[in-house]
C-alpha cells in the first residue's frame, strides 16, 4: 500500500515542512510542491502541515477506467463522500467537482455531502488517476495557541509541533525539553501521546508551564533545574523539583537555546548546554539564532538535517543532531 499526503504551508515554512515530512515519512518519500508519497502510514493530525491522507487502493490511466473500477469498490460506511485531493495538478475547481460527482455515481452506497461516515479521495498525479480511503488532518495545535500563560518570544505552536515530530518521528520514544519555558513543546508532545518531561532554570517559567499544561488537561511533568546539572536518569545535582519522568537516557531532546536581543550567550555556557544535551539523549533537535556548528562538533553532536524556521523577520535554525 502507498499513501498520498496533501500538505499546505507558507513559503517561510516550506523548508521546515519538508524536513518534518522526511522525518515522518522516511528518506525515500517522494515530496512534491503540495504532496508527498510514502509507504508509511501516519495520522495526518500529527503534522501541523498535513491536510489529508489518501490510501491508494485503485489506480488507472484514465478517469473512465478509474470509474469502471470504482463501481465494484466496497463501501463500508453507512454513507460516503468523494473529494478531490489537490496535489498541484492543473485541474480547475469546477472540473474537480465534476470528477467527484462522476465517481460518486459509480459507488454503490448512500452519498452524504455534509457528514459522511466514510470519506474517499481521488487525485491525478503524473498522468495517473488514484482513488482510495481518505483521512483528514485535524489542526489540534491551533487550540494550543490559546494558552493562559504566553510571551512574545515563545516558540510558535506550529513550529513546536513540527520540532517534536523531528525529535520523535515514530511517537514511541521518550522526550525531554530541558529549557521548556512555558511548555509549548511539552504541550505538543504530550498531546501526541509522547512520554515527555521538561525542566527550566526559571521558577516563574516552570510555574507558567504548569498552568498551561493544567489548562489542556495534561500532566504537569515539569521541574526547576539547570540542564547542565541534570543527570541522564532525569534527576539533578542541583536540587531539581521532582517530576514524573521515564527511565533515561531519553530517546530525544528538544533544546531552544536561550537568546537575548541585546546580548549573546557566552560560548562556554552554550558548549556546556550542548554537552549536556548529548549526555541526556541520543537524538537532539536544537533551535538557535546563532551559528553553533563548531560548538556542536566540539560537543560530540553530528548534524543529520537542518533548516531555517521563520517568524516574521525573526529566524531560528532548526538542527537535527545525533551523537557522533
pLDDT means over runs of 10, the chain (324 residues): 95 94 95 95 97 97 96 94 92 94 94 94 95 95 92 85 96 92 96 96 95 97 94 49 52 88 79 96 94 96 93 86 93
Q: Provide the grid cell at 206.
A: 516552570
Note the pLDDT of residue 249: 80
Phi-psi region of 234 (alpha: psi -120 to 50; beta: other; left: phi over 0): left
Exposure of 162 by Cβ count < 10 A (0-12 exposed, 13-18 middle, 19+ buried)? buried
Angle between helix 184-191 and helix 157-167 axes, rounded to 10 deg: 60
pTM equals 0.90
Amino acid at each position: 500500500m502507498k499513501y498520498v499526503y496533501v500538505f499546505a504551508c507558507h513559503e517561510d515554512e516550506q523548508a521546515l515542512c519538508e524536513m518534518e515530512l522526511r522525518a515522518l515519512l522516511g528518506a525515500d518519500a517522494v515530496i512534491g510542491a503540495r504532496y508527498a508519497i510514502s509507504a508509511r502510514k501516519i495520522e495526518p493530525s500529527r503534522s501541523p502541515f498535513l491536510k489529508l491522507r489518501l490510501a491508494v487502493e485503485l489506480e488507472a490511466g484514465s478517469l473512465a477506467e478509474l470509474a469502471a473500477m470504482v463501481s465494484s469498490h466496497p463501501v463500508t460506511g453507512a454513507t460516503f463522500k468523494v473529494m478531490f485531493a489537490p496535489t498541484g495538478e492543473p485541474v480547475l475547481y469546477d472540473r474537480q467537482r465534476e470528477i467527484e460527482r462522476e465517481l460518486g455515481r459509480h459507488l454503490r452506497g448512500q452519498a452524504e455531502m455534509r457528514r459522511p461516515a466514510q470519506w474517499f479521495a481521488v487525485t491525478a498525479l503524473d498522468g495517473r488517476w488514484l482513488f482510495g480511503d481518505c483521512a483528514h488532518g485535524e489542526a489540534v495545535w491551533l487550540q494550543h495557541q490559546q494558552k493562559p500563560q504566553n510571551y512574545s518570544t515563545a516558540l510558535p505552536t506550529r513550529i513546536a509541533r513540527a520540532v517534536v515530530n523531528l525529535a520523535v518521528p515514530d511517537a514511541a520514544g521518550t522526550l525531554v525539553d530541558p529549557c521548556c519555558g512555558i511548555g509549548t513543546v511539552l504541550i505538543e508532545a504530550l498531546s501526541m501521546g509522547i512520554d515527555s518531561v521538561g525542566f527550566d532554570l526559571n521558577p516563574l517559567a516552570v510555574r507558567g508551564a504548569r498552568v498551561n499544561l493544567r489548562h489542556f488537561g495534561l500532566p504537569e511533568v515539569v521541574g526547576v533545574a539547570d540542564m547542565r546539572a541534570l543527570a541522564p536518569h532525569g534527576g539533578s545535582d542541583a536540587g531539581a523539583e521532582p517530576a514524573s519522568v521515564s527511565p533515561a537516557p531519553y530517546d530525544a531532546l528538544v533544546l531552544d537555546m536561550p537568546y537575548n536581543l541585546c546580548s549573546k550567550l557566552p560560548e562556554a555556557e552554550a558548549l556546556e548546554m550542548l554537552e549536556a544535551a548529548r549526555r541526556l539523549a541520543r537524538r537532539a533537535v536544537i533551535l538557535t539564532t546563532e551559528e553553533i556548528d563548531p560548538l556542536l562538533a566540539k560537543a560530540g553532536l553530528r548534524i543529520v538535517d537542518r533548516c531555517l524556521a521563520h517568524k516574521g523577520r525573526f529566524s531560528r535554525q532548526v538542527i537535527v543532531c545525533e551523537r557522533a
